[in-house]
């Protein structure tokens, strides 16, 4: 609605502007027609997705109106150049890719300077066009800086809402999102997915006897080891406390058992004072153990508890968390 209103307003002010400048009204017909047609096209329609072909066509129409208005009042076109500044702002807010922004702004600037290159612009128009060009370039630079800052803030926000602040792996929110997506994808493809659940043995005693700093150091070492020993498509999550999950897309329980054994062996390389670190391990396979998130998580947790109950190495207490050389 807003974009359609802008096109309509632009078309409506063309003829009053020409009359105020005492210029022939017929010169504004092309710009008025483009403005009315564009307004009729976009009114009531949802905004096209940024970066798509309709989005680019809409932007070209948005700067096409001031371009036609600019040419309709030559050689006294200095009055029309502010329209290009507005166009640049519109483009900046409707694109996020810098290369696309540069392409659109570069085209606008080229059209703005074309009358000067052909020697048909007055001195007043030439000065106004050059000043407007400088303003557009400055605006593009400012927008780039703003986007870079926004991207950095977006990355920080991503870390805050989907990453565990201590270990840097995913949190429960990320697991829920990734698992929901992968379950839908695996349902369509008919492939299997396995979720591994890991729990550190004796972690409470570590915190109680050695302090939370030692416990945090152990959690960071575990997360680092998991990252180094999983595939790129796998997702590592810290569920909370000393519980971790590893989602293995396109992996059967049989293959996941081998991966789990490999992870256990890698984690045992983290020495903990009196001996190697031991872990409990449980797993749940889609669709065998469930077809929804809650059921799969419940099965994985039940298998983990059963594994920990039979684990005889649950009392290893680390003094200092280091890696074996």
Query: What is the predicted pLDDT for the residue at 32?
Result: 83
Residues with Cβ within 8 Å of residue 16, at least 6 apart in sequence: none
Other beta carbons within 10 angstroms of residue 165's beta carbon come to: 9
Query: What is the predicted pLDDT for the residue at 312?
Result: 46
Query: What is the predicted pLDDT for the residue at 315?
Result: 36
Instruction: Name the residue with tokens 């256990």.
Output: 264
Residues with Cβ within 8 Å of residue 325, at least 6 apart in sequence: none
Query: What is the predicted pLDDT for the residue at 89?
Result: 62
| Element holding 283 (H helix, E strand) | strand 279-286
Dihedral angle, C-alpha 284, 262, 221, 160, nearest 10 °: -40
Going from the N-terminus, what domains does the chain have, and what CATH number goes with each?
2-161 (no CATH), 172-323 (3.30.70.270)
Query: What is the predicted pLDDT for the residue at 290?
Result: 92
CA 63 to chain CA mean position, Å = 28
Q: Are 244 and 223 in contact, with CB atoms under 8 Å apart?
A: yes
Dihedral angle, C-alpha 216, 220, 221, 223, nearest 10 °: 140
Query: What is the predicted pLDDT for the residue at 300?
Result: 94
Q: 3-state SS of 161-179?
A: HHECCCCCCECHHHHHHHH
pTM of the full predicted structure? Answer: 0.54
In tens digits, the chain (325 residues) has pLDDT values of: 666 776 787 778 778 877 877 777 777 788 788 878 878 877 767 767 777 777 777 777 777 777 777 777 777 776 666 666 666 666 665 676 777 777 888 888 888 888 888 888 888 888 888 888 887 788 777 777 777 777 777 777 776 788 898 999 999 999 999 999 999 999 999 999 999 999 998 888 888 777 888 888 999 999 999 999 999 999 999 998 899 999 999 999 999 999 999 999 999 988 665 568 889 999 999 999 999 999 999 999 999 999 988 764 333 333 334 344 3
């Amino acid at each position: 609605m807003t974009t359609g209103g802008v096109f309509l307003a632009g078309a409506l002010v063309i003829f009053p502007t020409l009359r105020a400048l005492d210029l022939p009204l017929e010169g504004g017909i092309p710009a008025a027609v483009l403005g009315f047609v564009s307004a009729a096209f976009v009114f009531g329609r949802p905004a096209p997705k940024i970066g798509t072909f309709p989005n680019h066509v809409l932007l070209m129409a948005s700067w096409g109106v001031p371009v036609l208005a600019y040419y309709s009042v030559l050689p006294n076109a200095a009055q029309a150049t502010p329209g290009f500044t507005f166009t640049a702002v519109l483009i900046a807010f409707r694109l996020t890719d810098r290369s696309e922004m540069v392409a659109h702004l570069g085209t606008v600037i080229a059209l703005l300077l074309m009358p000067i290159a052909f020697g048909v612009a007055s001195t007043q128009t030439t000065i106004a066009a050059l000043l407007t060009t400088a303003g557009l370039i400055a605006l593009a630079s400012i927008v780039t800086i703003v986007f870079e800052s926004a991207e950095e803030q977006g990355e920080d926000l991503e870390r805050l809402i989907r990453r565990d602040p201590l270990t840097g792996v995913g949190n429960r929110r990320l697991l829920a999102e990734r698992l929901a997506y992968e379950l839908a994808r695996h349902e369509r493809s008919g492939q299997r997915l396995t979720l591994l659940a890991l729990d550190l043995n004796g972690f409470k005693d570590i915190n109680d006897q050695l302090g939370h700093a030692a416990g945090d150091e152990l959690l960071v070492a575990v997360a680092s080891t998991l990252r180094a020993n999983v595939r790129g498509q796998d997702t590592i999550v810290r569920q909370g406390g000393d519980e971790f999950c590893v989602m293995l897309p396109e992996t059967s329980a049989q293959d996941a058992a081998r991966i789990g054994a490999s992870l256990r062996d890698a984690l045992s390389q983290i020495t903990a004072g009196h001996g190697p670190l031991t872990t409990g391990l449980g797993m749940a396979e889609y669709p065998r153990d469930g077809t929804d998130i809650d059921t799969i998580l419940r099965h994985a947790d039940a298998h983990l508890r059963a594994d920990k109950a039979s684990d005889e190495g649950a009392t290893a207490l680390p003094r200092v968390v280091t890696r074996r050389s």
